[in-house]
Amino acid sequence: EAQVTQNPRYLITVTGKKLTVTCSQNMNHEYMSWYRQDPGLGLRQIYYSMNVEVTDKGDVPEGYKVSRKEKRNFPLILESPSPNQTSLYFCASSLYGVSNQPQHFGDGTRLSIL
């Protein structure tokens, strides 16, 4: 089954404790992206990757890092999480990252930073 898998689905942690949210897709997609979703603000793009070793900032990259060492994986790293990063996070992938190709989204990771 074609899917985007995020882990963990839920995480409660404390300020400053480094964490990584993993994202993996099994569709051989070149384009992958991370979003955060907050009430009233909708989905905002954090980082995206056009292919292995090619990443670029979205609209809200501050406080986040990503890496794309393999095509299937695109982890999101919070080096020193802060409470303003409490949010619902989605990873997505698509074949080439253009509008007529659907982005397949994972089911989300709810992060709470205390």
Partner 1 sequence: QKEVEQDPGPLSVPEGAIVSLNCTYSNSAFQYFMWYRQYSRKGPELLMYTYSSGNKEDGRFTAQVDKSSKYISLFIRDSQPSDSATYLCAMIKNYGQNFVFGPGTRLSVLP
Binding site for partner 1 (CB under 8 A): 4, 31, 33, 35, 40-45, 48, 50, 56, 58-59, 90, 92, 97-100, 102-108
| Minimum distance of partner 1 from residue 40's CB (angstroms) | 6
Q: Which is nearer to partner 1, 41 or 114 (CB)?
A: 41
| Minimum distance of partner 1 from residue 20's CB (angstroms) | 19
Q: Which is nearer to partner 1, 52 or 105 (CB)?
A: 105
| Minimum distance of partner 1 from residue 66's CB (angstroms) | 14
- Amino acid at position 96, single letter: Y
How many angstroms separate the CA atoms of 34 and 39, rounded? 17
Q: Which is nearer to partner 1, 7 or 80 (CB)?
A: 7
* Spatial strand order in the sheet of 76-78: 4-7, 19-25, 76-78, 65-66
Length of the chain: 114
How many angstroms separate the CA atoms of 75 and 69, rounded? 10
How many angstroms separate the CA atoms of 64 and 12, rounded? 17
Q: Which is nearer to partner 1, 1 or 42 (CB)?
A: 42
Cβ atoms within 10 Å, residue 112: 14
| Minimum distance of partner 1 from residue 106's CB (angstroms) | 6
